[in-house]
Amino acid sequence: MRHVTPAEQEYLETLLRLRETDQPLTAANVSRSLGLSAPTVHEMVKRLEAAKLIVRDPQKRISFTDEGLEIAREVTSRHRLVERFLVDVLGIPWYAVHEEAETIDRYASPDVIAGMREQISSAKTCPHGHPIAAGNRMMCGVRLADAPVGSQITILRFEDEDPELLRGLHDAGVRLGLSATVADSDGERIVLRHVEGDTEIDAARADTIAVWSSAGNPGFSPAA
């Protein structure tokens, strides 16, 4: 794989996450995802384009080149593998591993990554539900914010890996695989009813959670 800088890796990972969630690959969406100014993002997009890792059409929509997509998948998969290792082997809480992994994955040697892969055995996803084999989602799901009252849901994935947001979800009792019924929803918050009680999630956070829903995914069970 061609050497890419840590900053280039971050942008390529961000673009791949947008692609995985069917969001338009635009500089504006990258800026929003990374919390960076438009001029800063524009400069990096031009750099990636000059390196022939991405291309832009006349409407400035971004697409990966074959090499760019290969690198994006490699660096994203490595990051997710490191996150899984930190949780499964070192016992670091799932909501705290994203930034920890970023300090490791970009500099770890192939031998270290191979050793981590061996330790996580057959794990298929990172601790936030994203496929370690980046770009190979088994199921997209629907946003929890869109699940209607009365529907059965199972949490599949956390789309936003901001540590503060994830810690808040953890503290509220939200976790991957949680099965619940949408007991109430009023546009500002959603109430989930499950075996451990009721959990209230504000609409903004619910919008970042992907779920299987009996209403949104008829005929399909996450356990199937």
Model confidence over 52-90: pLDDT tens digits?
999 999 999 999 999 999 999 999 999 999 999 999 999
Range scoring the smallest mean pLDDT among 17-21, 84-88, 173-177: 17-21
With contact defined as beta carbons under 8 Å apart, do 81 and 133 qualify?
no
Nearest C-alpha neighbor of 182 from the set 203, 204, 160, 208 = 203
Q: Are 80 and 126 in contact (CB under 8 A)?
A: yes
The angle at the Cα of 210, spanning 96 to 54, to the nearest 5 degrees, equals: 80
Q: Distance of CA 179 to CAs 29, 127, 144, 192, 197, Å?
A: 31, 17, 12, 9, 12
| pLDDT > 80? residue 216 | no
CB atoms within 10 A of CB 161: 21
Half-sphere exposure of 109 (CA within 13 A, CB side): 3
pTM recorded for the entire structure: 0.85
User: Which contiguous run of DSSP H or E holds residue 211?
Assistant: strand 209-213
Q: Evaluate whether 109 touches 123 at the Cβ level (below 8 Å).
A: no
Nearest 5°: the CA angle 164, 138, 95 is: 15
Query: pLDDT (tens digit, 9 = 90+) per residue, 145-174?
Result: 999 999 999 999 998 888 899 999 999 899
Least confident of 90-94, 135-139, 176-180: 135-139
- Domain with residues 142-213, CATH architecture: Roll (2.30)
Which three-class secondary structure state does DSSP give residue 219? coil
Distance, CA of 82 to CA of 67 (rounded, Å): 23
For 179-201, the pLDDT digits (tens) are: 999 999 998 999 999 998 999 99
Q: Please state which CATH number belongs to domain 6-69.
A: 1.10.10.10
| Per-residue pLDDT, 20 | 86
Please state the rounded mean pLDDT for residues 34-42.
92
CA distances from 17 to 109, 119, 169 (A): 24, 25, 20
Cβ neighbours, 10 Å, residue 149? 13
C-beta pairs of 100-107 under 8 Å, 24+ apart in sequence: 105/75, 105/78, 105/79, 105/81, 106/6, 106/9, 106/75
Domain segments of the chain as ranges: 6-69, 142-213
Provide the mean pLDDT of the chain.
Answer: 90
Give the pLDDT confidence of 93-119 residue by residue, as tens digits: 999 999 899 889 888 899 999 999 999
CB 157 within 8 A of CB 17: no
Confidence of residue 3 (pLDDT cuts 50, 70, 90): confident
